[in-house]
Amino acid sequence: MAKPQNILVSIDGSDNALRALKFSLSLVQPGGRIHLLYVQVPVARSWVLSEELIEEHYRRQEEAALKKVRGYLKRAKGRIAIQVCIGEPAPTIVEYARKKRCTQIVMGNRGHGAIAGMFLGSVAMKVVQLSQIPVTLVK
């Protein structure tokens, strides 16, 4: 009998991330779990920005990223865990997957193309390079 999947889905509010969630829901077997992870890039602290402004920024970003997935959360009935982290996206995604013993990472790919990817260095490509487990990119 195959071990149930423990899939990490990285979300960012994009349509590609939503497609990654849909794809993952089709993969997960009974007893499996999907970890939705939203990683926020840290805001540099300064005397100009109050803690309240920074916290409000994080709250708004989180709300926007999770808005599209809320309907899927109801249908999944407890098979989905949500986590929000602050950090550099690629290493944070890979480390979270390692800690939760995920068997796969699924994430949206923005589709910048090979040439743009070489210059821009997408989060998805960094995750592929850093991860010890399979990574599936969904367009």
What would the pLDDT profile of 26-47 be if each residue is shown by its tens digit? 888 778 889 999 999 888 777 7
pLDDT at residue 77, rounded to an integer = 63
- Pull the structure tokens for residue 116: 């743009």
Name residue 37's amino acid.
L
Report whether pLDDT(13) > 80: yes
- Least confident range of 7-16, 116-125, 128-137: 116-125
Residue spans of alpha helices (H) in the chain:
15-27, 51-67, 70-76, 89-99, 114-120, 123-130
pLDDT averaged over every residue in the chain: 84
Task: Over range 109-126, report the average pLDDT.
Answer: 64
Give me the residue label for tokens 């920005």. Answer: 49
Report whether pLDDT(22) > 60: yes
pLDDT at residue 133, rounded to an integer = 96
pTM of the model: 0.84
Q: How far apart are the C-alpha atoms of 83 and 122, rounded to whole Å?
A: 21
133 DSSP 8-state letter: S
